Chain A
């Protein structure tokens, strides 16, 4: 498959464990945050989003936490599966409505 980054932070977990991927954002004016998953050879895929008036949002097996005080975003994946192996990007949006993407974290799930 294609590599999207040679020097990305990497998180290695065992199948069944919970995973936490962190992201620090830069713009205190950002009011909308998105997590994307990118598998090898594919485009980024929307996972979950959160607006700045919330500090937690849950989806299916995923939870996003937002701490505006320290400008930190995290993605929690419950019961991680091999199919979760991918690069995960956070994106922030402010008034320009153009998301700014972080560099991504590579999640490796070992069976």
Chain B
């Protein structure tokens, strides 16, 4: 157990739908990062939050959004889902943005 908790582990939904993925960072970690991992794209950075505020944005689609709450957990919202959004979505956390971070075990999203 890495200390980073992601729920749900698996999610199957239809095209056009909206889903929310949840992440609880390791105790004491203020930064949360979201990554998408697909078979042909590898690990792609989506967005980072630090202590409730957006800190950096990567290749995140406009259909996707995220937030970090006062208790530091984070949610990634994916809307108007397309088949190509099927992927593993990882959350990671760190106490210091200059160090490496700890990943959760991911949410496997399948859009049918």
Contact = CB atoms under 8 A, between A and B. Distances in A.
A70 interface: no
Contacts of A32: 98
Contacts of A4: 37, 39, 88
A89 B45 contact: no
Contact of A96 (B4, B56, B99, B103): B56
**Range, interface on chain B:** 20 to 34
A2 B98 contact: no
B102 A101 contact: no
Contacts of A89: 42-43
A69 to B, nearest CB: 24
A3 B39 contact: yes
Contact of A49 (B97, B100, B105): B100
A43 B39 contact: no
A97 B97 contact: yes
Contact of A34 (B2, B37, B42, B100): B100
B42 A2 contact: no
A43 B102 CA distance: 9
Q: Majority SS of interface residues in chain A?
A: loop
Given A42-B105, A43-B90, A96-B56, A5 B100 contact: no
B98 to A, nearest CB: 6
A79 to B, nearest CB: 24
B58 interface: yes
B97 A102 contact: no
A7 B99 CA distance: 29
A101 B42 contact: yes
Contacts of B104: 43
B91 to A, nearest CB: 8
Given A3-B39, A41-B105, 4 more contacts: A5-B39, A44-B43, A100-B45, A101-B43
Interface of A: 2-7, 32, 34, 36, 41-46, 49, 89, 91, 93, 96-104
19 contacts: A5-B42, A6-B39, A34-B100, A36-B103, A42-B106, A43-B2, A43-B4, A43-B90, A43-B92, A44-B43, A44-B90, A44-B92, A44-B103, A89-B43, A93-B98, A96-B56, A99-B101, A101-B42, A101-B43
